[in-house]
Amino acid sequence: MNFGPRTSEQDSFAIMDKALDLGINFFDSANVYGGKRGEGITENIVGRWFAQGGGRRDKVVIATKVYGTMGDWPNESRLSARHIKLACEASLRRLQTDYIDLYQMHHIDRNTPWEEIWQAMEQLVREGKVIYVGSSNFAGWYIAQANSIAAQRHFMGLVSEQSLYNLSARTIELEVIPACQTFGLGLIPWSPLAGGMLGGALQKVQEGRRTEEQIQKRIEANRAKLEQYAGLGLIGTANPAIGAGTVVALQWNCLDLSEGSPTLANIRALESRGAVLTYAVQKSTC
């Protein structure tokens, strides 16, 4: 969503090329991303990147979303059948592709019946414009309702849910994640670093998005917890305060975990004191 308003097109292209080099092939967007209503700036940038060729489109699983306001007229937002159809076709033009791998409903539309929503999505699937359908920001109840009605229509229904999820926002653990598990949905966390707050905010408090007033307030409100989080010291010295019974979830993309590396030494020091570390390593080279 930062492609355009915060990240230049040239830098956006470089980021996506690097992602493919590292084996990252799932790119998520939305028709409203880009900062200017109705223009789909982020989708346009991704589309121009696809247009460079080199197998970019074939290598990428592209996801985008429908719901947000794209104009002043009543059917230029939400999930009416008309808006779903026109919004999908507009996204396809901007992305310069003939199909969307994952088409997500950005929010629940309480005023449109599921029969109308699913009929529109089924038509897009039949036409080959959409492969899978997902949701975003849905409550557990709406996931259950959506997929129960989809099953009655002999339609696959939702295959994924994209929710706010990070170490400071865990509400979805109550009902959304259990619903995903029950109905077989994949979970896509958005803002996994809380808008940068969990990405070394205390050391980089005057850089990037962290300079925004809203983020600054969140940093100050959570300073004590952030100092504890930073105290894990996985890149520096392992924190002796972290001991038995501590459970820490970590995910890295480009860290050196080879024998003799400082990071691996700190992990083993934490584990020797009874800490339970769960982590997923994508690749160790950048």
- Which letter does DSSP use for residue 173 in this model? G
The full set of domain ranges for the chain reads: 9-192, 196-230, 231-286
Q: Give yes or no: 229 in active site.
A: no
Mean pLDDT in residue range 73-92: 97
pLDDT of residue 276: 58
Of the two residues 199 and 49, the one the predictor is more confident about is 49
Spell out the alpha helix ranges (H) of 97-222: 114-126, 140-152, 176-183, 213-221
Question: What does the pLDDT look like over 29-55, one tens digit per residue?
Answer: 999 999 899 999 999 999 999 999 999
Mean pLDDT in residue range 132-160: 98
Mean pLDDT in residue range 96-113: 98
Query: Domain 9-192 adopts which CATH fold?
Result: TIM Barrel (3.20.20)
Q: Is the pLDDT of residue 219 over 60?
A: yes
pLDDT of residue 237: 47
- Phi first, then psi: what are they for 90, rounded to 5°? -70, -40
Q: Is the pLDDT of residue 254 over 60?
A: no
Model pTM score: 0.81
pLDDT of residue 213: 85
Question: What does the pLDDT look like over 8-23, one tens digit per residue?
Answer: 999 999 999 999 999 9
The closest of 82, 81, 49, 47 to 64, measured between CA atoms, is 47
Rounded distance between C-alpha atoms, residue 106 and residue 77, angstroms: 11
pLDDT of residue 277: 59
SS3 string, 196-258, reads HCCCCCCCCCCCHHHHCHHHHHHHHHCHHHHHHHHCCCCCCCCCCCCCCCCEEEEEEEECCCC
Q: Is the pLDDT of residue 279 over 80?
A: no
Q: Which of 33, 67, 103, 132 is catalytic?
A: 33
Q: Is the pLDDT of residue 128 over 60?
A: yes
**Does residue 151 contact residue 157 with C-beta atoms inside 8 Å?**
yes
Per the prediction, the chain carries an average pLDDT of 87
